[in-house]
Amino acid sequence: QVQLRESGPSPVKPSQTLSLTCTVSGFSLSSYAVAWVRQAPGKALEWVAGISGGGSTSYNAALKSRLRITKDNSKSQVALSLSSVTSEDTATYYCVKCANDYGSYFCYNYDYGYDFYVDAWGQGLLVTVSS
């Protein structure tokens, strides 16, 4: 049974670095790409970052300078860090498993949308940025 579980702090103070962890089970991180997406209150889903089975990474261009995604295959964990957070980063963050290891797609395709490449979602973690 495929499962993904997000963990991390909330609230986070403005200007701090947000560190999130996704712990997976039921599949190998060396064989499938995993990504993070988020949904701010009242807004659409936004793809954040992805990492392939081989360890290649891809980032949302608008956030790239503040992002880092890494993984530890032996611990079945994917980590996301987002620096210099503001209230605009308040959102529910989801860890998702790609249907296959599509490399540069990293679960997301601008023509088809998120669900085309995603076959499992975490329950989501609400992160609030507040002083």
Model confidence pLDDT, tens digit, residues 69-94: 999 999 999 999 999 999 999 999 99
Distance CA 104, CA 56 (A): 8
| Whole-number pLDDT of residue 89 | 98
Low-confidence ranges of the chain (pLDDT < 70): 101-105, 109-116
Residue 38: count other Cβ atoms within 10 Å of its Cβ: 23
Query: Which residues partner with 96 through β-bridges?
Result: 35, 121
Structure tokens at 44: 């659409």
pTM of the predicted structure, to 2 decimals: 0.92
Q: Which domains does the chain have, with CATH numbers?
A: 3-123 (2.60.40.10)
The burial of 81, by beta-carbon neighbours within 10 Å (0-12 exposed, 13-18 middle, 19 or more buried), is given as: middle
Model confidence pLDDT, tens digit, residues 113-124: 555 578 899 999
Query: 9 preceded by cis ω (within 30°)?
Result: no
